[in-house]
């Protein structure tokens, strides 16, 4: 909301004292669902407390990706990628992922959410 006049040129000035920005974010994936649980990657893996940080998406070296909870359960059975059957190795999120240092959570290998815009006075 820019500082603005009332529109009828009456000269009243509005000063913004405080504002809360809201940003939306998404995992940088091409498919929209997890190949294991078939739920949206932005959504909730079965058993996860909630979407987002409680249900992170992880990448393998083979470039396939799943909910962390889903792939972890599978890796107890077999150490392969469910899609290409290559040996599963965790990898960092692919290049286009916005890996801003301040927002990296859960350490290496996990996708990173876009940070919300800073609050401005």
Partner 1 sequence: MAAAVDLNRVKKELKDCNKDPETSGIKAELVHEDDYLHWKGTIKGPITTPYEGGIFDVDILLPNDYPFVPPKMKFITKCWHPNISSDSGAICLDILKTEWSPALTIRTALISLQALLSAAEPDDPQDAVVAKQYKEHHQEFMKTAKFWTETYAGAQAGDSEKLEQLMSMGFEKAKCVAALSKAKGDVNAATEALLSDM
Q: Is 38 in the site for partner 1 (CB under 8 A)?
A: yes
Q: Is 17 in the site for partner 1 (CB under 8 A)?
A: no
Residue nearer to partner 1 on the CB measure, 83 or 97: 83
In whole angstroms, the minimum distance from the beta carbon of 113 to partner 1 comes to: 23
Whether 59 and 35 have beta carbons less than 8 Å apart is answered as: no
Q: What's the DSSP call for residue 35? A: T
Residue 121, CA distances (Å) to 2, 6, 103, 118 in order: 13, 22, 22, 10
Residue nearer to partner 1 on the CB measure, 70 or 112: 70
Whether 39 and 33 have beta carbons less than 8 Å apart is answered as: yes
Q: Is 35 in the site for partner 1 (CB under 8 A)?
A: yes
- Per-residue contact track with partner 1, 69 to 108, x per CB under 8 A? -x--xx-xx--x-xx-x-----------------------
Q: Is 62 in the site for partner 1 (CB under 8 A)?
A: no
* 95 vs 21: CA distance, rounded Å: 27
Name, in order, each residue with C-beta under 8 angstroms of 42's C-beta and a sequence gap of 6 or more: 26, 27, 32, 51, 52
Residue nearer to partner 1 on the CB measure, 86 or 104: 86
Q: Which residues bind partner 1 (CB under 8 A)?
A: 35-39, 46-47, 70, 73-74, 76-77, 80, 82-83, 85
């Amino acid at each position: 909301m820019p500082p603005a006049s009332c529109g009828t040129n009456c000269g009243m000035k509005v000063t913004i004292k405080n504002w809360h920005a809201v940003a939306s974010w998404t995992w940088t994936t091409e498919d929209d669902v997890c190949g294991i649980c078939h739920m949206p990657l932005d959504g909730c893996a079965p058993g996860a407390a909630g979407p987002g940080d409680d249900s992170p998406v992880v990448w393998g070296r083979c470039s396939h990706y799943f909910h962390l909870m889903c792939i972890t359960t599978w890796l107890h059975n077999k150490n392969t990628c469910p899609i290409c059957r290559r040996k599963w190795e965790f990898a960092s999120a692919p290049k286009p992922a916005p890996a801003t240092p301040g927002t990296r959570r859960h350490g290496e290998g996990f996708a990173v959410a876009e940070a919300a815009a800073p609050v401005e006075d």
